[in-house]
Each structure stands twice: as structure tokens, then as C-alpha cells.
Amino acid sequence: MAPDGLSPHKSETGSPSHAGAGAPDGRGIPEVNMWQSFPLFGSSLLLIIMIAASYTFAVAVSAHVFAAEKRGVRALQSARFGAYGTVAIIAVTVLCLAYAFVSHDFRMRYVAHYSDRGMPTIFLLTALWGGQDGSLLWWLFLLSLYIGACVFTLGKKHLELQPTIIATLMGVVIFFCVLMAFAANPFSTSVAGARMDGEGLNPLLQNFYMIIHPPSLYVGFVGCTIPFAFAVAALVTGRLGDEWIKACRKYTLFAWLFLGIGNTLGMLWAYEELGWGGYWAWDPVENAAFMPFLTISAFVHSVMIQERRGLLKVWNVVLICLTFFMTIFGTFLTRSGAIASVHSFAQSSIGTYFVWFLVLVAAFCFTLVLFRWPELRNLTPSPTLRYAAMLTGWLVLLLLAGAYFVASKVGGPAMTVVPGDVMGPEALSAYNAKRTLIKVGVFSLLAGGAVYAALELVYRRMTLRLKLISTRPRMESLWSREFTFMLNNWGLLGFLLFVLAATTFPMVSEALWNEKVTVGPPYYNAWVQPLGLLIFFLMGIGTLFGWKKTSRELLIKNFLRPVAVTGVYVVLHLVFGRSLGYPAVVWSEPIYAGLLGKSLAAFNAVTPVLGLSLCVFNTAVIVQEFAWLFLSRSRAGTESTPRVLYYFGLLPGFIYTMLTLPPTSRRRYGGYIVHLGIVLMFFGFTGKSWTLDKETSLSPGQTVQVEHLTLEYRGPRMEVDTEKRMVFADIRVTEKGKELGVLHPAKFIYKKMPESPTTEVAMLHQVRSDLYVVVGTINPQTKLASLQIHVNPLVSFIWLGCLILIAGSVVCMFPEFREEESRVWRVARGTAAVTASIVLGIVLALMPAPAFAQGTSSSLHSGTVKIENEKEKEVFGALRCMCGTCARDLLSTCGCGEADETRARLREKLAAGATKDQIVAEYAAEYGSESLAIPPNTGAMRAIYLAPLAVIGGGAVGLGFMLRRWRTPDQHQLGAPVAANAVKADAKSPKNDSYDARLDEELRGLDDA
Amino acid sequence: MTPETPEKPASAGDRAPKRKKAPKPSKEHLAQAAIAEEAAARAAVEERKLAVGAAIAIPLTTVFAASVVGLALSLGPAILVLAAGTLLGTIALFWGSLRTLTGDAPLSEDLEHASMASPIDALADRKRMLLRALKDLESEHAVGKIDARDYASLASTFREEIKTLMREMDDSLEPHLPEAERLVTKHFAKIGLTGDPFRAPGRVDQAKDEALARDDAAPASITTSRVACPACEASNEPDARFCKSCGGPLAAAGAEGPLEDPAAPPAPAPDEVASKATPAPAETTPPAPAEAASEEGSSDV
């Protein structure tokens, strides 16, 4: 079959060297008839996936229904085959699209849009996920890989959960199929027929990080589907114990890890390529990727409480549903263009599908949780209780919806003031969609609270006379790890809420108050510091508490050393910080006028010393944990690490010890290693406080002094290759006369788009700080170069932290060693494991290298910004570029032509003696409040921080109530059964010994995989 | 991979009800049925072999062909070959799925006896949770994060709680004990082990442990495979020759390991054995024990 069809494609070898040869052939359309229908074949494959997934879904559901009978098992086995089959057919589809790219089938719109004949093969394959339609197929493909792995590893375990897991996964597959088949078909043909050549991937997107960072994020995003499927299975089958948590633990960790890696790579991409000197701009898309990471981190912690104390069953299920919801919501944000962002794709109808899917998922999870409410609350389940829960939940929801409907009818159209003729029909419908979405969002928040309250009330009444399961979990003390973990959950979720509120605020304010606003990085930067440091602090103290309760002496013992070390550090920093170039207190411009702005600024001024001392504190805590571990091991003589490993240095022995710990401890110490990675990342983030930006223009031979470094501009240099002209500015960097290296920041002028030259960043990485040089303009006559120089202290620690985080996760996820394995085998496996993890680390560490080697890495920002003094910086930092095409860039970073003009205009005003406030006010009057970098601190706009803060505060109060309930012994159960048990224990006291022996034995045999 | 013998009970189990409907099977009919059964079993084995062969051959051939084509021609055709191979695999998988669903293809041995309806055991869940907490406490104590006094008080509350739970579990199993015992003796009788190892004094504990296996798979499997000393009731390693407590010889254990048999996971469940030994008249097996037995089997899967 294959070779026949190949004849027309023979010349297209797909190798890069062949790239230029495509055009002379002059073939836009393959001639052989069979290939005429190739796009149709692809589209029908999508439908086949849908059918296959639907079939598997149906079979899996029947397996669940007939679970008690033999045919249930039969159906399950059939569903497993069906799942594998669905995976295979998805692979076929992806391969077909890959073939279309490799064979330059430009009849397909997607192929024509994202590739051309001159592209190297590797970028042809990158284009698979470059655009919207293909990236959905890629998403589906990753999901199918996960499904395959999941079904395979499940094997014959968890037979009760399997049908529901498969059915849930198939449901998600069906959604993506519908999406592709009806809204974003990658195989759809262009109406105008095939082109001679494609448009090609934007050269700006052809770089190393663009190849790897979206996929690794996707791996994390899609990975969240698996734990979600397990949670749904747990809810459907009612097996809400730790079974599902254990079964999906590795998938959860894997998804968590790749979300982390993806986010870090995204930072790296922004830092290396975007050329504005920072790594995180709080872009909606970045936030969308960050939010599931927060929820899944919270989940990873709170499951530990359920595993040990049986608390928080509802919470865990809700968290994992929320994580899945957030991944879909994030994709929706990226793909639907609902919020302007650097990354956004073209707008399309796809958003509507996502909204419906989100609603469906939310309603489904809501009903399921209501259905299992009795079990989740540890009540003896009865149909009455179930129906009561479901009825109450939906009734409250519907009543609220009805009330809202009536209110909006009665209240009149107060906010519908946007005339349709101004916006045009498309914009109007998009506007309406946004409004609806916002209303739904706000409504569901309120409704969630109302439903919970109603359920509580109903259950209070109903359980007054019902028998409770005698094992209602209780919490003994506030001074326990359970409580700190709950605080940690509260912090993470509060953070999530804050980011969510700020990300969606432009939509909210437009929908509710008809006022367009921008939420720029300054807003986030000011607010997240207190919140982030709070979580960071909780991370440190959490591990110092023991389970159940911690005595005062023990707390003192655990806290003593870390606190002492931190105290010493703070004193040292206060004394020596300034002279070393790291002053303890750094003031920045308050984002708001008035008390709030001042107090925020005051807190953020001490962030440097606070952040660093928390880093020290956390490190001390972790070091203390490891010291205790090794001390106790050497004391007990259980140190079994082969001595030979230590001959190679400390690390191999350490890794071996980590990997050979029993599973539970291994996960704990792996977690500490992850914490260490996070400490290093925070260390890097703190460095941002001391960032130094400098603008200068140099003639050849001139030098400029930046902190401890001397930069000498040697002169411009020009190179030309087939695609572009490159103009370099060679800069020699010396420190105290010693040469550190020569930097080559550059401007690339692509033949395809000569009007917008791209900017190439040059960096000098040092442990202490990165020197980041961007060249603005080079005058061809005078050879005068305008340079933008950033000194970013401690940035490299962020990347180092990520590597350690990966290592820690590997330790957590590592497969178990078995007791019965022989020592030789264990050593061999251990060594192999050590080698493997080191190789993995090195590979990951070297990954950035190709980016430097590759010529095409380039910045999305075509120009550079010239800022002459501090005053200008403040003004430009507070205003947004209003050219209409730059998504949400500030005047201080936007490089477009209009921004240049605006800056020149404002500069004149400044020169004429206007103050910052005057200029900002005038600008806002001219362009509306949208043009301000952050929403003004007035009236309803305050909701952006008040609303999340209120919810966070409410969460704290709720937590307090919850604790009270957990802590007060329950009259229904405590009195009698305990007494009865005591009697029983006395009666059976002679048997105590045998029980003790059995207990010990079971304890030894308890290995939690 | 799957020897011929285990197929028999599977197909026999399927066919048993059908044959019962026939008014009175004559000898010839029986012989014919036996032959047909044999043929069916052989066909099933053939099919399984085919499936395994396809599962190995299709990916290998595809990858091989794709790399050959890729080297000889170019990347594009190689991708097509891969796609074609995957499509073949898809067809094979759905074929397998449909045949399994309709009941034409036999299930594998362990799935045949698997059950998807094992009840939720809140007590076992809770016990596991407490054990985990206790273990955590122990490791924290070992590391020195918690001092001896705190450890002692916390550990004793945990232990007390666990022991109460264990007692509760044992009590809840008490009524089922004779049933389990009866099944086991019956099973031994069937396989011709009349030596009656359960007459040993450790019998109650053994049976209890065994019944426990239903509730708690992992720890119980450790306890069940142990051998009780005939003299002092102390529990010993399965391969021990002398009791670790009293030093007396463990007579039966060393020579022939039948003691471990009842609890070993893949042990054929009684009903299945019954159908193997006496094909036709085994229908007297009541439903309840069968269920219990299959539960036992599944808990170890």
C-alpha cells in the first residue's frame, strides 16, 4: 500500500539539505488519485476515533453496571482492548498529520499555515503542535499515551475502579474529538485550493524552547486527567478510602513534575528569548499553566492527611476535580483568545465548546460529590441521605439561578450599554460570551458557598437521630502536622484564587462594570510577595511538626537550630548586606497612592531580607532532617549503602541511600529534596529585588561600568546567511581587569520580514548574577550602539532549583525495591538507578545548550526600549501601549513603533515639567482606564484584591470552624463505644500478646507502594 | 504462556449450565460433549497463541518495515508504513474487544476467577490508615525527631486503637469461621489430602488468619503462609523445621508443604476443583461458599 502512493513524493526526502529543492518541482497537488482524498481520510479518522471511544465508553459503563456478574469482567476486558484500540487509532491520526507535514500537503489549511518547503524536518514536526488545531490533536495524542500506560499498569488490579476510569478517560477523548471534528479540524482543506508553498512557521517561533516548553507543559496538563479519572471512579464506586489515591499516586506526581518543568521552561523561554530581562510576566497564559500546579501541589500534600488520619476526603476529591477543571480552563484561556496575551492564538468558535465542556464537567463532579456526601462525611450511607444531599444541592443551585434570573429581569438592563453597531456582530457575540462566562463564574462561587451551607444545615438536622459510623476522624491538636498541612492548602488555594481573580479581572470588570482594565505585572509583583512568602514560610514549619500532636519540648527542639541559624543570618545580612551589594531593604515605588500602597510597598521593601532569611530557615530545616536521618541510620547500624559508592564522592552514596529507603520514607525525603529545589527557586526569585537596569549609548572603544563589571564596546560586525542579515555588537566584559568573556548581542533582519528586525539577547551567566545585554540600535555611520543592560542577581538558582526539584520527584516516584531481592541485584539496580538519574539530570542541564548553538533563536519583541532615567521608567511602567496589537505590554517593555512615538511624546511632557501623576492622569483620560498598567484603586475596581482577600479570610474562618468540629469529641460516639472497647480489652487481655505480635508483623509488612 | 490445563475449567464453567438443560445426557452425548469441549479448549489456546503472536509481531514488523523504508526512501513513507501498521493493530484490538465482549474468546485464567464486586471494608481501610500513621511515628522516632516519652504515649494510643480494630474485625468474622473451615476441609478432601493438617492445635488461628485474608490482602498474606507449632502454637516461618519458640520439631512443614496450600493465592478455588474432578454432578455447590471462595481468590490477585 505505502510504496505505490509514494511515487509523487519521492523527491521530498524531508531532509533539511533538500529544503530548497521543493519549489522548482512546482507541484502543489500530488497527482495520484488515491491521495486526492487524503484530507478526507484524515477527517474521517477523527470520526472513527469518536466511534471507537464511544464504543469503549459504552462497554466500560456496562462493565460497571454488571460488576457483580461474570459478564462484567468480560465487558471490562473488552473495554480494555477497546481503550488500547482507541489509543492506536489516535496514533494513526497523528501519524497521518505528520505525513501531511512531511509531504508538504498544502491543501490542508493547517499545513499551509504552519509550514513551508524550506523548513527543516525537526520544525516540520514541531509544527504539529504549533497551531491551534494541531495542538488539540497533540493533546489528544498525549492523552492517549497516558491512557495506554494507565490501562497497562492497572493490569488486573483495582478491577472495581477500572471500568469507571476507562469510561471517564473515553469521555474526555470524545470531547476532544468533537472539538476537532466540528471546530478545529487539522485536516480541513482550504477553500482556495492548495498553495504552491506554505506560509511557514513564524521564524520567531522557531527556537529550541518553543519546541520543548509547550510539550512539557502539555505533558503536565494532560497528565492531570488520569488522577481525575481515578477520583471520578472513586466517587462512582464509593471506594473513597486511600485505594484510588495510592493507585494514581505516581501519575499525580508525574503530572505535578511536568507542570513544574513546563512552567520553569516557560520562564527560561521568556528569559532567554523575549529580551526584556525578566522571566515571568504574569501573562494570562502563564497564569493558566501555573494555577493547576498550585491545586495539584495542594492535593499532593492533603492526601497525606487522608492516608494517615482519614480526614479531608471531600477536599481531596474536590481538589483533583479542580485541577482537571483548571487544566481545561487554562486551555480555554489560551485557545479561545478570551483574554489578551502574548501567546494567544487566533480567536475561533472553539471557546464555546470549552465552556460547555467546563459546565458539563462541573455539573458532573457536583452531582457525584453530592451523591457521595454521606460517605465523604463519614456517615452511614442511606438512600435518604443521598437524595437529601442531591436534592438540597441542586435545589439551592436552581433556586439561586432562578432568583438571579428574576432579579436580572426585574432589575432591568443596567449594564447593557454597549451598542451593537459600534462593536460589530462578531465582537458583540464575543463580548456577550464573556459576560455570560463571568456571570456563571461569580454565580458558581456564591452558589458553591450557599450549597455547602445548606447541606451542612440539612445534615445537621438529619443526623441528629441517625447512627454515625463510629470512626469519625478527629484532630487532636493544632500543634500537629495535619494542621500545618491544612494551612499550606489554605495558602496555596488562596494564592490560586488571587491569581485567578487577577487573571480574569479584565473580563469581570468589562462584563460587570463595562470598564476595560489591564492587570499588568506591577500589580502581581506587588501583591504576590506577601502571599508567596507566606506559603514559603508554611512550607518550612510544616515539616517541623509531628503527626497528631507535638509537645512543647519537641517543638523547641525542632525549631531551635533553624531559628538560631536564621537569626544569625539576619544579623549578618543587616550588617554586611549593603557592602556586598545586597542591601536588606529595597524600596520601590508604591503601586497605589494612600495607605494600602504604602503598606504594600513597606512590606515589599523588606522582602529581600525576609525572603533570604526564609530561604536560610527552610534550608536549615531540610538539612536538619537529613542530618537526623543519617545520624539515626549510622546509630542503628542500618546504613547499608555500599561503601564503594562513597569513593566517587558524596553524591552517589547519597542518591543510593535515598533510593533504597523504604517507600514511605523515600517519599518523605524525596519531598524534602523537592522542597530544597523550591528553596533555591525562591532564592532566585528574591534576587529580583536587586535587579539593575541601565541604558547607555557607546561608541566603539568606550566602556561602561555596571556594578562590579566593566563592559567595553568594541564595534559592530555583520554576518549574512540564507535567511537573514545579522548585526552584532561585540562587547568585552571584564571584572577588575580580568576578562570574563565577549558578548554578542545582535539584531537579526529576516528576509521574510525586513521591517521588523529581531533582537538577540546576549548573556553572561555567573553564579552571583546574570549580565543580560540587549542591543537597541546600531548606527551604521557612527557605529554608535545603544545598549540595554540588566544585571539579574541569582537567576541561575531558579534553573538549578528546578533540576533539584526534578531529582526529588524522581526519588519520590522511584520503583520499589523488594526485600527478597538479593543484595547483588539490589546494588546493581541501585547503581543503575543512580546512573540513570544522573544522566537525566545532565541531559536536562544541557538542554539549554542547543538553544545557544542554534542560529534562529530570537526574540518576540522586535525592537528595544530606550529609557533614559528613573522618572521615565516610573511613568512608562505605569502605562500600557495602546497601539491595539500589542497584547498587554507596558510602555516600559513594548518595542513597537507606536510605543516609541508615545514615549517620545511623554518624554517631552516630562521635560516640560509635568509630574508622573499628571501624565498618567492625562494618558488615562485619553485612552480610558484600560491604558493603565494596573486597575485604579477606586470604587468597584477594588474588587480585584478585595474579593480574593475576602475569600482567603473566609477560608481562614471556615478552617477555624472545621477545626472546632474535628476537635470537639462527638457525644454520639465517644462516650459509649470507648467504654465498651475498654471493657472488651480487659476481657480479652490474655489475647493481647498475640495481637501485638500480629500488629508488629503487619507493621513490618506494610509497604506503601 | 498459558498451558492447556487451565483452559479446561474455564470452558467447562461456561458450558456447564447449557449441558444441564439437556434432559438426560447419554453416554455418547457425554463423550461427544467431551470431544467438543476439548476442541473448544484447543481452539481457545490457539486463539490465545494467535493473539500473543499478533501482539508481538505487528509492532515489531511495523517498526522494522518503517525503518527499512525510512532508510531506503525517506521519512514520509516511513511515517505511512508506521500508520498502516498501527491501523492493523487497531483492527486487531477491536476484533479482540468484540470477541471478548460477545463471549467467543475465552478470558484469561485469572480474570475468569476475578471478581469486581469485592465489598468496601471500612475497618480494613481504617486499620491500614492507623498502621501507616504508626509506622510514620516509628520512623520519626527512629530518626530522633520525637522523644521517647511522646513516642511511647502516642504509639500506645495508636496500638490500642489498632488492636481494638483487629478485635472488631475478628469478631465480625467469627460467624463465618465454621463456613471457611468447612470449605477448606472439603477442598482438602477433594484434592485427596485426608491427612487433615487442621487437626493441629494451631487450627483456629490459622483459619482465622485465612478468613482475615479476605479483608486485608497484603499483611494477611504474610500471616497466612506461616506455620503454627503443634506443641506451643507459636507462629513460625513457613520453611522452618523447628519451632522458634519451644524448639520442637515442626513435623509436617519440612517434608511436604501442604500447610501453606489453602492460603496460597493461585490455589484453585473449591468449586473450580470440583468441576475439574467430577465434571457433571458438581452442581450441588451452594452459591454462598462459591462466592466466599472467589472472594478469597480475588483478594490476593
* Chain A residue with minimum CA distance to B10: A70
Please report the pLDDT score of residue A239 as a whole number.
85
Specify the amino acid at residue A48. Answer: I
Helix (H) or strand (E) holding A731: strand A724-735
Best mean pLDDT range from A85-99, A503-517, B208-222? A85-99
CA distance B81 to A792: 51
| Interchain CB contact of B291 with A (< 8 Å) | no
**Closest chain A C-alpha to B2 CA, distance in angstroms:** 16
Best mean pLDDT range from A668-677, A947-956, B18-27? A668-677
Best mean pLDDT range from A39-53, A709-723, A931-945? A39-53
| Interchain CB contact of B261 with A (< 8 Å) | no
The answer to whether residue B277 scores a pLDDT higher than 90 is no
* Average predicted confidence (pLDDT) for chain A: 76
Helix (H) or strand (E) holding B236: strand B235-236
Interface test with B, best of A13, A377, A471, A630 (most B CBs within 10 A): A471
**Grid coordinates in use for A408?**
436580572
Interface test with A, best of B48, B67, B93, B239 (most A CBs within 10 A): B93
> Maximum Cα–Cα distance for chain B, whole Å?
79
| Size of the A and B interface in Cβ pairs below 8 Å | 230
**Residue A643 Ramachandran class (φ > 0 left, ψ -120 to 50 alpha, else beta):** alpha
Average pLDDT over residues A210-237: 85
Phi, psi angle pair for A758, to nearest 5°: -100, 160
Per the CB < 8 Å rule, is B223 touching A471?
A: no
Query: Which residues 13-42 on chain B approach chain A with CB closer than 8 angstroms?
Result: none
**Closest chain B C-alpha to A682 CA, distance in angstroms:** 26
CA angle B211, B214, B216 (to 5 degrees): 110
DSSP for residue A1006: -
In chain A, residues with a C-beta closer than 8 Å to the C-beta of B222 are 1001-1002, 1005
Do the bridges between strand A762-765 and strand A746-750 make them parallel or antiparallel, or are there none, so unpaired? unpaired
**Grid coordinates in use for B28?**
455418547
Higher pLDDT, B189 or A733: A733
pLDDT band at A867 (very low <50, low <70, confident <90, very high): low
CA A779 to chain CA mean position, Å: 42
**Residue-wise pLDDT tens digits, A178-196:** 988 888 888 888 777 667 7
What is the torsional sign of CA A163, A169, A173, A175?
A: positive
pLDDT band at B19 (very low <50, low <70, confident <90, very high): very low
In the block, cell 507502594 appears at A1009
In chain A, residues with a C-beta closer than 8 Å to the C-beta of B159 are 996, 999
Per the CB < 8 Å rule, is A546 touching B140?
A: yes
pLDDT band at B263 (very low <50, low <70, confident <90, very high): very low
| Interchain CB contact of B156 with A (< 8 Å) | no
pLDDT band at A282 (very low <50, low <70, confident <90, very high): confident
Q: Find out whether A189 and A39 touch, Cβ atoms under 8 Å.
A: yes
Please report the pLDDT score of residue B253 as a whole number.
39
| Interchain CB contact of B228 with A (< 8 Å) | no
pLDDT band at A568 (very low <50, low <70, confident <90, very high): very high
In the block, cell 460497571 appears at A64
- A634 HSE (CA, 13 A, CB side): 6
Q: Which of A10-14, A69-73, A101-105, A254-258 has the lowest mean pLDDT?
A: A10-14
CA distance A318 to A312: 10
Average pLDDT over residues A519-544: 87
Please report the pLDDT score of residue A174 as a whole number.
94
Per the CB < 8 Å rule, is B116 touching A72?
A: yes
In chain A, residues with a C-beta closer than 8 Å to the C-beta of B97 are 55-56, 59, 78-82, 85
Provide the ipTM.
0.74
In chain B, residues with a C-beta closer than 8 Å to the C-beta of A1007 are 218
Number of residues that make up chain A:
1009
**Residue-wise pLDDT tens digits, A903-954:** 778 888 877 777 777 777 777 777 777 777 777 776 667 777 777 788 788 8
Shortest CB distance from A103 goes to which of B76, B159, B218?
A: B76
Please report the pLDDT score of residue A973 as a whole number.
42
Shortest CB distance from B79 goes to which of A77, A102, A550?
A: A102
Shortest CB distance from B97 goes to which of A82, A99, A553?
A: A82
Per the CB < 8 Å rule, is B77 touching A2?
A: yes
Determine what percent of chain A is predicted with pLDDT higher than 70. Answer: 74
CA distance A647 to A832: 17
| A296 closest CA partner among A272, A266, A333, A330 | A330
Average pLDDT over residues A97-112: 86
Interface test with B, best of A999, A1000, A1001, A1008 (most B CBs within 10 A): A999
- Beta bridge partners, A790, equal A693, A772
pTM of the entire structure?
Answer: 0.77
Q: Find out whether A776 and A792 touch, Cβ atoms under 8 Å.
A: no
Specify the amino acid at residue A522. Answer: P
> Maximum Cα–Cα distance for chain A, whole Å?
102
The answer to whether residue A709 scores a pLDDT higher than 50 is yes
| Interchain CB contact of B81 with A (< 8 Å) | yes
Higher pLDDT, A544 or B16: A544
Per the CB < 8 Å rule, is B223 touching A554?
A: no
Interface test with A, best of B48, B80, B232 (most A CBs within 10 A): B80
Per the CB < 8 Å rule, is A3 touching B69?
A: yes
Which residues lie closer than 8 Å to A661 by C-beta, 6 or more apart?
A669
3-state secondary structure A874-943: HHHHHEECCCCCCCCCECCCCCCHHHHHHHHHHHHHHHCCCCHHHHHHHHHHHHCHHHECCCCCCHHHHH
The answer to whether residue B6 scores a pLDDT higher than 60 is no
Please report the pLDDT score of residue A683 as a whole number.
92
**Grid coordinates in use for A135?**
495542538
Q: Find out whether A621 and A544 touch, Cβ atoms under 8 Å.
A: yes
In chain B, residues with a C-beta closer than 8 Å to the C-beta of A13 are 74-75
| Interchain CB contact of B174 with A (< 8 Å) | no
**Residue-wise pLDDT tens digits, A589-603:** 777 777 788 888 888
Per the CB < 8 Å rule, is A1006 touching B150?
A: no
The answer to whether residue A898 scores a pLDDT higher than 80 is no
Shortest CB distance from A76 goes to which of B86, B116, B154?
A: B116
Q: Following DSSP, what letter does each residue of A302-317 receive, concatenated?
A: HHHHHHHH---HHHHH
Other beta carbons less than 10 A from residue A155's beta carbon:
12
In chain A, residues with a C-beta closer than 8 Å to the C-beta of B272 are none
| A786 closest CA partner among A801, A774, A803, A794 | A774
Best mean pLDDT range from A367-381, A882-896, B182-196? A367-381
Strands (E), A736-839: 738-743, 746-750, 758-760, 762-765, 769-778, 785-793
Interface test with A, best of B15, B47, B100, B235 (most A CBs within 10 A): B100
In chain A, residues with a C-beta closer than 8 Å to the C-beta of B145 are 546, 554, 558, 625, 628
pLDDT band at A280 (very low <50, low <70, confident <90, very high): confident
Shortest CB distance from B79 goes to which of A67, A95, A995?
A: A95
Give chain A's end-to-end CA distance (angstroms, integer).
47
Per the CB < 8 Å rule, is A628 touching B128?
A: no
